[in-house]
Amino acid sequence: MAGLLEASLSFPTVLFSFLLLVVFGYWLFVVLGAVDTDILDADLDAGSSAGGIGGALGAVGLGGVPVTVVLSLLIAVSWFASLVGTVLIDPLSDSSPLTIAVALVVLVAAVIIAWGVTSAVVMGVRRLLPAERQRRGGDFVGQTCVVRTGRVDGEFGQAEISGGNGSWSLIEVRTIGGERLTAGSTALVFDYDADTGVYRVTPYDSALDPGTSA
């Protein structure tokens, strides 16, 4: 155990160890409802297919899924591959010049391996969920959704909505007029802002639905 800890704090693994801590912190905040899962996808939601981090990932075959998911997987696999490589080159630690050279090779190899693994996962996800990714714009207006973040208000929130054929989509939602929803609440989507990719929602009361029998 001590050896693994030492390896995780050695070059080049220490670079990915720091990034992995950032990833853990980010997903912790997502679970608590403090940040959005697609915080880095703003450039794509705004209509840009070639700019920002999302555009860069798409150029190397890693587009089609949330940027934060791709980066998290890249970092996690890079960390693991680098950790294994660092443990394997440990016997060379007595030769500093050689150790540095081999460590750089491990760094590059870890990134390449991570890209390969992440690319395979992304391709699999795109094949499994084609309908969900194609449904865009105002298609969800008039449907109900379930709040998945800790809160939904005029500034923040995400909800899960049926995309048809058994698929589900996670969408950005906001309320108006000071309304506030909590996790697990059912809301009605009544508008879509094409400029921001955000859906406007309001609390849903099934008793007021004319299509629901009393």
What's the token pair of residue 208? 């007021």
209's CB contacts (< 8 A; 6+ apart) are none
Please check whether residues 84 and 31 belong to one and the same domain: yes
Please check whether residues 40 and 111 belong to one and the same domain: yes
**Confidence (pLDDT) at 138:** 74
Gap between the Cα atoms of 72 and 27, Å rounded = 9
The confidence band for 97, taking pLDDT boundaries of 50, 70 and 90, is: confident
Average pLDDT for 135-140: 69
Q: For residue range 78-87, list pLDDT tens digits in order.
A: 999 999 998 8
Average pLDDT for 125-135: 58
Is 214 within the bounds of a domain?
Answer: no
- 145, 171 in Cβ contact below 8 A? yes
Cα dihedral 122/78/56/60 (nearest 10): -60
Domain count for the chain, please give it.
Answer: 2
Q: Which of 55-69, 127-141, 143-157, 177-191 is predicted least confidently? A: 127-141
CA nearest neighbour of 40 among 62, 2, 69: 69
CA nearest neighbour of 154 among 181, 183, 186, 176: 176
Please check whether residues 192 and 88 belong to one and the same domain: no
Which residues share a beta bridge with 182? 151
Residue that terminates a domain, selected from 128, 163, 179: 128
Please check whether residues 69 and 159 belong to one and the same domain: no
Is 213 within the bounds of a domain?
Answer: no
Please check whether residues 26 and 97 belong to one and the same domain: yes
Please check whether residues 101 and 171 belong to one and the same domain: no
Please check whether residues 104 and 187 belong to one and the same domain: no
Q: Show the domain range for 62.
A: 2-128
Average pLDDT for 159-179: 82
Rounded to 5 degrees, φ, ψ at 56 are: -65, -45
Please check whether residues 186 and 90 belong to one and the same domain: no
Does pLDDT of 108 surpass 80?
yes
Higher pLDDT, 179 or 207: 179
Please check whether residues 40 and 70 belong to one and the same domain: yes
Mean pLDDT across the chain, nearest whole number? 79
- How many alpha carbons fall within 13 Å on the CB side of residue 149? 24
Gap between the Cα atoms of 75 and 60, Å rounded = 16
What's the token pair of residue 156? 């923040």
**Confidence (pLDDT) at 1:** 63
- Angle (nearest 5°) at CA 170 between 164 and 172: 125
SS (H, E, C) 100-131: HHHHHHHHHHHHHHHHHHHHHHHHHHHHHCHH
Q: What pTM value is reported for the model? A: 0.57
